[in-house]
Amino acid sequence: MQELLDNLKELYALNGITLRNPSLAWAEVTPERLVGLLTQLRDAHGFTHLVLMTCVDWLEDGRFQVTYLLHNYTTRQDLGLHVYVGRTASELPSIHTLWEQGRVYQQELHEMFGIYFPGSPGLGEPMILESWDGPPPMRRDFDTRVYSEETYSHRQRTHHEPEQHMKDRLYPED
């Protein structure tokens, strides 16, 4: 794995390379070099499975970290790639032509974080948030309490202490 990472570091200007163990490594790549690197890893190095694509909102740093995790079945190795993109006008290249499931991951990240993937099919169609009328809910600056109070009517709730409630329900005559 180290030899592969050393070669790719030169070709794709990888940063933050971390070899966790012989079968797991992480690296950072720029958005401009992402698709070329993913294509090289898939076609020339056997990383044929896109395991996941996820996002972390680094609100304090003003950026998102999008993570791609790839798996090579032959060598039983995993390689994770981190790509950073700003929180405003967030845009990354689409990978739906490399892996079909990339379209679904991209649609989810678009809905939940507001990241745009140009050319990705179905990006504007609701997938998880049907009838949603608010900002992307997984952004850390999204205030669920404020949204809930502004969107839904308030109703009184009754609170029961669990121990007494169960005693009353299970042994009502005691």
Q: Which domain holds residue 22?
A: 2-153
Tens digits of residue pLDDT in 122-142: 888 888 888 888 889 999 999
Confidence band, pLDDT 50/70/90 cuts, at residue 19: very high
The total domain count for the chain is 1
Continuous H helices in 46-143 = 101-113
Classify residue 174: in a domain, yes or no.
no
Tens digits of residue pLDDT in 69-116: 999 999 999 999 999 999 998 999 999 999 999 999 999 999 999 999
Classify residue 39: in a domain, yes or no.
yes
Mean pLDDT of 13-37: 96
CATH number, domain containing residue 83: 3.30.460.80
Q: Which of 89, 97, 88 is nearest to 34 (CA)?
A: 97
Percent of the chain with pLDDT over 90: 72
Classify residue 165: in a domain, yes or no.
no
In the β-sheet with 49-58, what is the strand arrangement from edge to edge?
15-21, 24-28, 77-86, 63-72, 49-58
Confidence band, pLDDT 50/70/90 cuts, at residue 155: confident
Length of the chain as a residue count:
174
Classify residue 167: in a domain, yes or no.
no
At 174 the pLDDT is: 66
